A and B are shown apart, each in its own frame.
Chain A
Amino acid sequence: MTTGFESADIDHGAASSPDMSEQPPRSGGSGRLGPTGLARIISAGEVVGLYALCIVAALLLSALIVQLTGGDSLAVFSALLDGSIRGPGRIGETLGVMGPLLIVALGAIISNRAGLVNIGQEGQLFIGAAFATYVGTRIGGPGPVVILALLVSSAIGGALWAGIAAALKYRRNVPEVLTTLLLVTVAAQLAGYGLKNQWLLLAPPEGRANRQQISQQLDPDSRIPLVTMFGNQFPISVFFALGGAALVAFLLARTVWGFRLRALGHNERTAQRAGVAASRYGAGALLLGGGFAGLAGGIMLAGGDFGNYTLVPGFPAEIGWTGLLVALVGRQRVFATIIVAFIFAGLRTGSGFVAATGVERRITDVVQGLLVLALLIPPALLFLRQRRRAMAARESRT
């Protein structure tokens, strides 16, 4: 066995783990076979070209759907841009949506790094928001204390919810992908139950319609403060989300903890032999993932971009699902994830403006879906080609 062989084998362990990240397409596989110089530049150009081609195809297809149903596709795209970035104050709205999306995605990145498939962010987020509502409307005290308490409790709520999945995985060997998915529905039903009972989350009868399921509104001084920059108003939590992204990127790439997490994600058995306790690090990663999703729920509640500072059934508004998608489309890399989160948030805020063009606003979901599918194709193609080359190289050597 040559050294090239061995380095290829390390790659294998990486991509065959249940880690949801496909390996980034490193051109040429093992270093020995990798193209250099000019070839590398050509291959980089190829990658960019492939991405551009797929994105253009997705946009053209969306335009075609609009045109076929008698709409004006240019007007729709222009309305999308107006609603997400060009209109006055719209960037602020988009940032307000980006914050929670990014936080959910960061949590997903952490769990995925450890090779865990947590797909229950939607439920963890709802439980977090419910905890935040309970704490935020019950405890008194100065504003900042209440805000801090409700955010901390939202993170604890989300972590506890993910903790059920972690406990079942490491105590009873139940796959976390199943439990996290099941717990999404249970979370929605628990929150619905809380919103029917006044001793839990339901607002007192005065100030709401009969049988309406709505929580009490957060007091004005226990809401996340808004900042105004260049005519854009957004909750200050956006900065914390970005700071959190930098912190997560640093922790994953530059600390022993991050290294152990990655080792666990690449090959659990090897990591165990090297002294990384799967149950401790894995459970920790799941709890953190849930905690981030829960925190996103707390921020959605106290930031005001969702539900007007109240909790209602259906509160998560698919931010949990979309946040997971953001992490996966961003291919688990923090910087790419920030950009993807902003684009997805823009599609959401832009959709409100699409209705004015006479085209049903749900077209933005179509645009988003087609874009994601388009973004999945280039890395998959490149990865497969790299695999084929590596296999061919291995066969020619043996």
Chain B
Amino acid sequence: MGAFLAALGDVLTSEAAYINALTFAVFLAFGATGEWVAERSGTLNISIEAMFLAAAFAAAVGYSSSQSEVVALLCGMFAGFSVAFVQAEMSHRLAANQFVVGLTLNILVLGLASFLASELDPVTTKSSSISIPLLSEIPLIGAALFGRSWLFYLIYLLVPFVWWLVYRTRWGLEVRAVGENPQSADVSGLDVNKRRRQSIYVVGLTSGMGGTYLVLAAVGQFADSIVGGRGFIALIAVIFGGWTLRGTLAGCILFGAVLSFRLSLPALGYDVSGDLLASLPFVVTIVAMSVFAKRVRPPQALAQPFIRGLK
């Protein structure tokens, strides 16, 4: 325990630790903000993994053929949207089971990305960082928050925008209504499945940004293992956050920190079990859900399909 606290102290006072933690956290946050919208509308969207991967691949291809990061971002967002489109049409128009569609898309996109990557072999370079004057000189966290690639700064725009979209627009109110009680929403004249499809498009677009950020700003080179199950972590961050945007972001930062500590602790010379440390956020999430079961409750129609006339 003493060793662990010493390690924690070292990490908390090193600038590199904050940079690494936020690199992961922001990647998760791109996907998780969109995933939060989808879950509020009643979809437990597990194809976020596929969206990240498709976006990362498309962004890498877009960048290697145009040498433009803007084109890469557009390609990434388009790829994320395409996956979202299939998921939305299959699960909320054809009423196929959302988990089957999600699992299948994860397999399909992983296969497609690794197959096409071996054929096209996209070459990318790491996006250069733009330091914001003054702010980036704040000790400890300045470089981590304000000395980044422009793709990183998108999160500062995305989060307030999504918050506004969900809490301050009619569309957002309808999305939340559809996730809580689709039957009532339907009776009041809302097109339940349309709202759900639209909120899946939102995840597609935001995880498209996340995938682009991952390949161009965080890693710098595409590999088919680049996402490697972290889409699920973004999904779990939403659960951890108790289906609030604030909590979701806190979850992203916590999970991002844990993901990066796992890599950096052995490098600092500490013998802390990475596996047990990595499982901590999940265990905490489960415990929190059961302890605060009364206060933290999922959207009531989460993961339940809506077909008019049934129920």
**1/0 per position for A100-137, CB-CB distance to B under 8 A?**
00000000000000000101000000000000000000
8 Å CB contact of A189 from B105, B109, B279 = B279
Which A-chain residue is minimally distant from B276 (CB atoms)? A193
- State how many angstroms separate the Cβ of A67 from the closest Cβ of chain B: 12
B70 within 8 A of partner (CB): no
Q: B104 touching A369 by the CB < 8 A rule?
A: yes
Q: B275 touching A189 by the CB < 8 A rule?
A: yes
A181 within 8 A of partner (CB): yes
Which B-chain residue is minimally distant from A20 (CB atoms)? B97
Question: Which chain A residues border B112 with CB–CB below 8 Å?
Answer: 65, 362, 365-366, 369
Q: B289 touching A328 by the CB < 8 A rule?
A: no
B302 within 8 A of partner (CB): yes
8 Å CB contact of B108 from A12, A370, A376 = A370
8 Å CB contact of A196 from B235, B275, B279 = B275
Q: A328 touching B99 by the CB < 8 A rule?
A: yes
Q: B307 touching A186 by the CB < 8 A rule?
A: no
Question: Which chain A residues border B235 with CB–CB below 8 Å?
Answer: 181
A-B contact pairs, 21 of them (CB 8 A): A15-B307, A16-B311, A22-B95, A69-B115, A119-B46, A168-B289, A171-B290, A182-B239, A185-B282, A186-B286, A189-B279, A190-B279, A328-B97, A362-B118, A365-B114, A366-B115, A369-B109, A377-B96, A380-B90, A381-B94, A387-B308
Which B-chain residue is minimally distant from A267 (CB atoms)? B311
- State how many angstroms separate the Cβ of A187 from the closest Cβ of chain B: 9
- State how many angstroms separate the Cβ of B212 from the closest Cβ of chain A: 22
A254 within 8 A of partner (CB): no
Complexed CA–CA distance, A370 and B115 (Å): 14
Complexed CA–CA distance, A177 and B299 (Å): 13
Q: A365 touching B103 by the CB < 8 A rule?
A: no
Which B-chain residue is minimally distant from A313 (CB atoms)? B275
Question: Which chain B residues border A248 with CB–CB below 8 Å?
Answer: none
Q: Given contacts A365-B112, A369-B105, list 16 more A-B pairs with CB under 8 A.
A: A12-B310, A16-B310, A22-B97, A65-B112, A117-B303, A181-B236, A182-B285, A185-B229, A185-B236, A196-B273, A364-B111, A366-B112, A368-B108, A372-B108, A376-B94, A387-B309
Question: Which chain A residues border B304 with CB–CB below 8 Å?
Answer: 16, 18
A174 within 8 A of partner (CB): yes
Classify the interface of chain A: helix, strand, loop or mixed.
helix
Q: B100 touching A387 by the CB < 8 A rule?
A: no
Chain A interfacial residues counted at CB < 8 A: 62
Classify the interface of chain B: helix, strand, loop or mixed.
helix
A74 within 8 A of partner (CB): no
Within 8 A of B (CB), among A331-383: 359-360, 362-366, 368-370, 372-373, 376-377, 380-381, 383
B44 within 8 A of partner (CB): yes
A225 within 8 A of partner (CB): no
Query: Which B residues are closer than 8 A to A by beta carbons?
Result: 44, 46, 86, 90, 94-97, 99-101, 103-112, 114-116, 118-119, 224, 229, 232-233, 235-236, 239, 273, 275-276, 278-279, 282-283, 285-286, 289-290, 293, 298, 302-304, 307-311
Q: A185 touching B286 by the CB < 8 A rule?
A: no
Which B-chain residue is minimally distant from A364 (CB atoms)? B111
A179 within 8 A of partner (CB): yes
Q: A15 touching B239 by the CB < 8 A rule?
A: no
Q: A373 touching B90 by the CB < 8 A rule?
A: yes
Complexed CA–CA distance, A261 and B289 (Å): 27
Complexed CA–CA distance, A174 and B292 (Å): 10
Which B-chain residue is minimally distant from A164 (CB atoms)? B286
Complexed CA–CA distance, A185 and B106 (Å): 16
Complexed CA–CA distance, A388 and B108 (Å): 31
Question: Which chain B residues border A377 with CB–CB below 8 Å?
Answer: 90, 94, 96
Question: Which chain B residues border A368 with CB–CB below 8 Å?
Answer: 107-108, 111
Question: Which chain A residues border B293 with CB–CB below 8 Å?
Answer: 172-174
Complexed CA–CA distance, A179 and B285 (Å): 9
Complexed CA–CA distance, A370 and B112 (Å): 10
Q: B100 touching A325 by the CB < 8 A rule?
A: yes
Q: A360 touching B118 by the CB < 8 A rule?
A: yes
Question: Which chain B residues border A173 with CB–CB below 8 Å?
Answer: 293
Q: A362 touching B114 by the CB < 8 A rule?
A: yes
Complexed CA–CA distance, A384 and B114 (Å): 35
Question: Which chain B residues border A179 with CB–CB below 8 Å?
Answer: 286, 289
Q: A175 touching B302 by the CB < 8 A rule?
A: yes
Q: A182 touching B110 by the CB < 8 A rule?
A: no
Within 8 A of B (CB), among A224-273: none
Question: Which chain B residues border A363 with CB–CB below 8 Å?
Answer: 111, 115
A83 within 8 A of partner (CB): no
Question: Which chain B residues border A369 with CB–CB below 8 Å?
Answer: 104-105, 107-109, 111-112
Q: A174 touching B95 by the CB < 8 A rule?
A: no
Within 8 A of B (CB), among A141-180: 164, 168, 171-175, 177-179
Q: A22 touching B115 by the CB < 8 A rule?
A: no
Question: Which chain B residues border A171 with CB–CB below 8 Å?
Answer: 290
A329 within 8 A of partner (CB): yes
Q: B111 touching A373 by the CB < 8 A rule?
A: no
Question: Which chain B residues border A282 with CB–CB below 8 Å?
Answer: none
